[in-house]
Amino acid sequence: MTPTAPAVLPIPVSPELPETMTAAVLYGQEDVRIEQVPVPHANRGELIVKVAAALTCGTDLKVFRRGYHAKMIQPPALFGHELAGAVVELGEGITGFELGDRVVPINSAPCGRCYFCQRAQENLCENLLFNNGAYAEYIRIPAEIVTRNTLHVPAHVPLEYAALTEPLACALHGLEDSDPHPGDTVAVLGGGPLGLMILHIAVLSGCRVIAVVKHDAQAAVARALGAHDIVQTIQVDDVVQAVRALTPDQRGVDIAIEAVAIPETWEQAVDMVRNGGTVNFFGGPETGTKVQFDTNRLHYGDLTLKATFHHTPAICRRAFDLISSGKFQAQHFITGHSPLSELNQAFAQLLDRGTHNRIKTAILPE
């Protein structure tokens, strides 16, 4: 896997925006069309951002295959949610942003008023506002996101790296929720973008990481990101046994983080953790799926089971700092660039994980 250099794009800021723009519109299952649509304008408190790069994401692939996402997007709708760019239009009453500012607007903002927001669980906000439309030349940023979740990107940080803030925030949330301590052995199940991010930041926090991945390409990236051991699921008969074998007395790992999102790996995560350990069900399986656990093991093994969904504004800032600091190896996560007109081909390559060694593709508006 060779990481590609970030695209350096000059972003002209013109006072006059064009009338129409190229954008990806989601119509349904595997039906995304590149169309000409009106350029949005900023209402009070809003920003218009010229997209420098939008990143493909596992959630977008899920949406592409299923045609919708209950919480995030209902077709027909502008599509894509991981982006960074430059401010090209300011709504009335905007403070703290100027034309030309390089920004990363996060894909959602909590309301700040509901039961969950009042308890610092803004990821569960009852009124979580999602913004889509990153696969386009311009995107409108709603006022709530402008005030709560839009960050300034320092000059030394490539915009496409800054666009990793949102998925990294999810990964960081998952890791922090699992309460890791330096020296802990952490198994991360899943070699998708999120699994690899969790793996990398667990290594950065001083944990010993066992990566449980399927494909050779994923194993290679896991190694480059600092995984101490790798279990390739297609090479072993019993994944749980293979992971336990890498721990003293086959005790099991201190923490297992599931980032595959299927019931089978949820069960494996529980089976590979040591007594007193923590399991985080980070991957969200399809509605209606069920798992089976040995209740005796859960109880007498004194296991802590948790799940982590989404992120909060505070976690987004910590994720952003990790990227800006250069500690987080952003270049490993963007494995290709595609023009917006080839978005469908980029998705097809990402879905074919066995053949194409892609993690995330940066989609660049022409």
Point out which residues bind Zn ion (CB under 5 A).
Answer: 57, 59, 82, 110-111, 114, 117, 125, 167
The minimum distance between CB 126 and Zn ion, in angstroms, equals 5
The minimum distance between CB 363 and Zn ion, in angstroms, equals 13
Q: Residue 285 corresponds to which amino acid?
A: P
Q: How far is CA 65 from CA 32, 51, 75, 167, 290, in A?
A: 10, 25, 13, 19, 21
Question: Considering beta carbons, is residue 53 or 117 the nearer one to Zn ion?
Answer: 117
Sign (positive/negative) of CA torsion 108, 112, 114, 118?
Answer: positive
Q: Pick the closest to residue 165 from 57, 73, 240 (CA basis).
A: 57
User: What single DSSP character describes residue 155?
Assistant: T
Q: Pick the closest to residue 268 from 242, 230, 289, 302 (CA basis).
A: 242
Question: Considering beta carbons, is residue 64 or 253 the nearer one to Zn ion?
Answer: 64
The 3-state DSSP class for residue 53 equals strand
The minimum distance between CB 61 and Zn ion, in angstroms, equals 10
The minimum distance between CB 229 and Zn ion, in angstroms, equals 28
Contact present, 27 and 75 (Cβ < 8 Å): yes
Question: Considering beta carbons, is residue 54 or 279 the nearer one to Zn ion?
Answer: 54
Quickly list H helices, 16-164. Answer: 58-66, 115-118, 143-149, 159-162
Question: Considering beta carbons, is residue 59 or 108 the nearer one to Zn ion?
Answer: 59
The minimum distance between CB 111 and Zn ion, in angstroms, equals 4
The 3-state DSSP class for residue 76 equals coil
Question: Considering beta carbons, is residue 123 or 268 the nearer one to Zn ion?
Answer: 123
User: Which residues share a beta bridge with 255?
Assistant: 186, 278
User: What single DSSP character describes residue 286?
Assistant: P
Question: Considering beta carbons, is residue 85 or 167 the nearer one to Zn ion?
Answer: 167
The minimum distance between CB 274 and Zn ion, in angstroms, equals 32
**How many CB atoms sit inside 10 A of residue 46's CB?**
22
The minimum distance between CB 344 and Zn ion, in angstroms, equals 18
- Locate 230 and state its tokens: 């790798």
Question: Considering beta carbons, is residue 132 or 218 the nearer one to Zn ion?
Answer: 132
